[in-house]
C-alpha cells in the first residue's frame, strides 16, 4: 500500500482554536515552544512536530528545526515520519473492528484461525541446539497477542534460548505475513501464555495476519479501505509515493564520533520505501501528525469521527482499560505505574509514574522517538514526532518525551 497522492488545500485535521477557548494557557505554552526550540537547536535533534488538541480542537501545532541532516530545509507541519510502533495501536483497532463484526472473540485461541499454533511448546531448559521443551499450560489467545502476554521471546530474563531459536527461524525474512506467521508457529515460547508481559513485535505481526484471515483482504488493503480512507488519513501507509518522498524526514543515529548521522537502514537510504517486505502491523507505517491526530480523536470520541464509525463506544472503553490484571503486579516491564490495554499503555498511578497525567491515560511510542497520549479525563491528545533512533551503548541525545508531556500538562488552565 502506498499513500494517496497529495491534494491541494487539505483541510485542517481538526478545527483549530485559541488555546484559552479550550482551557489552555497561551503564556504557559510558550514554555513548551522554548523547550522544543532548544531541543531542535544546532546540537540537538534535527527537527520535531508537536501537536496538542483539547475537546476536539487543535490548540497548538508547531514544527521546529529541519527535516534534513544538512539542516537546510525547515520542517513543515505536514511532513512524513516513520512512526514504527505507533503502528501497533492501528493494528489493534483493526482487530477490534473485526471482533465487532463477530469474526472472532477476544479469548479465542489463535489456533482456530491460524494453523501451527494448536500445540504450543515452551522452552524448559537445555541449549539452543538441544532445547528441552514442554507443552504450554494454555493456548495463545487473541487477548494474549493484543496485550503482549503470549509468551513469545522478548528479551526478558531467561529468554536466551527461545530468543536464539526465534532468530534462527528469522520470521522477519518472510515475504508476507502468512510466511511470518508460519515461521513463528514453529518456534517455542519463552513463557506460558498469560503469565508475563513481554513486549515484542511478533504478536502484532500475527494479529495483522489474523486481520487478513478474518477480512479476506490483505492487511494493507484493510487499513486503507477500513481505517485510513474513512478517517481521511491521506498521508498514512506502508510506503510513500515518489512525488511525496521529499516530505519524509531524515532519520538519524548518533555516530561513534558523537555527531548525528543518517541511519543505515533502507528507509534512510531511500526515504519513503517500505520498512519491511510485508505490511508490518508491529511497526511499518509512515504518517503525519495531522493524520495520527485524526486516529487519536476517533478513539477519544468513542470510536467515531466526522460521521464515520470504526468502533463502538464500549469497545473503545474496553481497549483503554488495563488487561494485565492476571499479573501480580498488573503492570508492564517498563513501568510499575502503567498497565496495558489493547494496543497501548494505561496509566494506573500518575504519582508513581512521576509526571503529570491522569488515571486511564492511554498511549504508546515508536522506536524513532515518536509518541502520543490520549487522556479521556482531560479530553486531551498530545503528539510528539521526532526522527532519531536512540543508542543505549553511548552518550546520545537526551530523551525528551517525559519533559514534553510535563510541559503539555502544565499548560492546562485552572
DSSP sequence for 177-226? HHHHHHHHHTSPBSS-TTS-----SHHHHHHHHHHHHHHSS-HHHHIIII
Residue intervals in the chain for CATH 3.40.710.10: 19-86+233-410, 94-215
Instruction: Choose between 10 and 71: higher pLDDT.
Output: 71
pTM for the model:
0.96
Q: What is the pLDDT of residue 186?
A: 97
At 259-271, the pLDDT tens digits run 999 999 889 999 9
Three-state secondary-structure class, residue 244 = helix
Q: What is the pLDDT of residue 9?
A: 47
Q: What is the pLDDT of residue 131?
A: 97
State the first-to-last Cα distance of the chain, in angstroms, to the nearest integer: 45
pLDDT band at 392 (very low <50, low <70, confident <90, very high): confident
Alpha carbon distance 110, 138 (integer Å): 12
8 class by beta-carbon count within 10 Å (0-12 exposed, 13-18 middle, 19+ buried): exposed
Interval 69-96 mean pLDDT: 98
Q: What percent of the chain has pLDDT over 70?
A: 98
Radius of gyration of the chain (CA): 21
71 class by beta-carbon count within 10 Å (0-12 exposed, 13-18 middle, 19+ buried): middle
How many beta carbons lie within 10 A of that of residue 129, not counting itself?
Answer: 9
- What pairs with residue 57 in β-bridges? 54
pLDDT band at 101 (very low <50, low <70, confident <90, very high): very high
Q: Is the pLDDT of residue 241 over 60?
A: yes
Q: What is the pLDDT of residue 6?
A: 40
At 269-326, the pLDDT tens digits run 999 999 999 999 999 999 999 999 999 999 999 999 999 999 999 999 999 999 999 9
Alpha carbon distance 332, 259 (integer Å): 33
Q: What is the pLDDT of residue 10?
A: 61
At 210-222, the pLDDT tens digits run 999 999 999 999 9
At 321-342, the pLDDT tens digits run 999 999 999 999 999 999 999 9
Q: Is the pLDDT of residue 83 over 60?
A: yes
Angstrom CA distances, 404 to 50, 53, 60, 114, 371, stand at 9, 15, 13, 41, 10
Q: What is the pLDDT of residue 393?
A: 82
DSSP state of 172: G
Fold of the 94-215 domain = Beta-lactamase (3.40.710)
Interval 122-133 mean pLDDT: 97
Q: What is the mean pLDDT of the chain?
A: 96
Fold of the 19-86+233-410 domain = Beta-lactamase (3.40.710)
Interval 236-250 mean pLDDT: 97
Rounded to 5 degrees, what are φ and ψ at 153? Answer: -60, 130
Three-state secondary-structure class, residue 36 = helix
Between 218-232, 255-269, 370-384, the lowest mean confidence (pLDDT) is in 255-269
Amino acid at each position: 500500500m502506498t499513500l494517496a497522492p497529495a491534494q491541494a488545500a487539505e483541510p485542517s485535521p481538526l478545527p483549530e482554536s485559541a488555546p484559552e477557548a479550550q482551557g489552555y494557557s497561551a503564556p504557559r505554552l510558550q514554555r513548551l515552544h522554548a523547550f522544543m526550540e532548544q531541543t531542535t537547536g544546532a546540537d540537538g535533534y534535527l527537527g520535531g512536530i508537536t501537536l496538542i488538541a483539547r475537546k476536539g480542537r487543535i490548540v497548538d501545532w508547531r514544527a521546529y528545526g529541519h527535516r534534513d541532516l544538512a539542516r537546510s530545509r525547515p520542517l513543515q507541519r505536514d511532513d512524513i515520519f516513520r512512526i514504527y510502533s505507533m503502528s501497533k495501536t492501528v493494528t489493534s483497532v483493526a482487530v477490534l473492528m473485526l471482533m465487532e463484526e463477530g469474526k472472532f472473540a477476544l479469548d479465542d485461541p489463535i489456533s482456530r484461525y491460524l494453523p501451527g499454533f494448536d500445540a504450543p511448546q515452551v522452552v524448559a531448559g537445555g541449549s539452543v541446539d538441544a532445547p528441552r521443551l514442554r507443552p504450554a499450560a494454555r493456548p495463545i489467545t487473541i487477548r494474549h497477542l493484543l496485550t503482549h502476554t503470549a509468551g513469545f521471546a522478548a528479551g526478558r530474563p531467561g529468554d536466551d534460548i527461545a530468543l536464539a531459536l526465534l532468530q534462527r527461524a528469522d520470521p522477519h525474512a518472510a515475504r508476507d505475513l502468512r510466511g511470518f506467521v508460519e515461521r513463528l508457529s514453529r518456534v517455542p515460547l519463552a513463557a506460558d501464555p498469560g503469565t508475563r508481559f513481554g513486549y515484542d513485535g511478533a504478536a502484532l505481526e500475527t494479529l495483522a495476519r489474523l486481520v487478513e484471515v478474518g477480512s479476506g483482504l490483505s492487511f494493507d488493503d484493510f487499513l486503507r479501505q477500513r481505517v485510513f480512507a474513512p478517517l481521511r488519513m491521506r498521508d498514512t501507509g506502508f510506503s510513500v509515493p515518489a512525488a511525496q518522498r521529499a516530505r519524509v524526514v531524515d532519520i538519524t543515529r548518533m555516530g561513534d564520533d558523537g555527531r548525528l548521522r543518517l541511519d543505515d537502514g533502507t528507509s534512510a537510504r531511500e526515504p519513503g520505501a517500505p520498512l519491511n517486505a510485508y505490511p508490518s502491523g508491529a511497526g511499518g507505517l509512515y504518517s503525519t501528525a495531522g493524520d495520527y491526530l485524526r486516529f487519536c480523536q476517533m478513539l477519544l470520541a468513542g470510536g467515531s469521527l466526522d460521521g464515520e464509525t470504526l468502533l463502538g463506544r464500549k469497545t473503545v472503553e474496553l481497549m483503554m482499560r488495563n488487561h494485565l490484571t492476571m499479573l501480580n503486579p498488573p503492570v508492564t516491564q517498563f513501568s510499575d505505574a502503567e498497565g496495558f490495554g489493547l494496543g497501548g499503555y494505561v496509566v494506573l498511578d500518575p504519582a508513581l509514574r512521576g509526571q503529570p497525567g491522569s488515571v486511564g491515560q492511554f498511549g504508546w511510542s515508536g522506536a524513532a522517538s515518536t509518541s502520543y497520549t490520549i487522556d479521556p479525563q482531560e479530553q486531551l491528545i498530545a503528539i510528539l514526532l521526532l526522527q532519531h533512533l536512540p543508542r543505549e551503548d553511548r552518550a546520545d541525545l537526551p530523551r525528551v518525551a517525559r519533559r514534553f508531556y510535563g510541559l503539555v500538562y502544565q499548560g492546562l488552565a485552572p
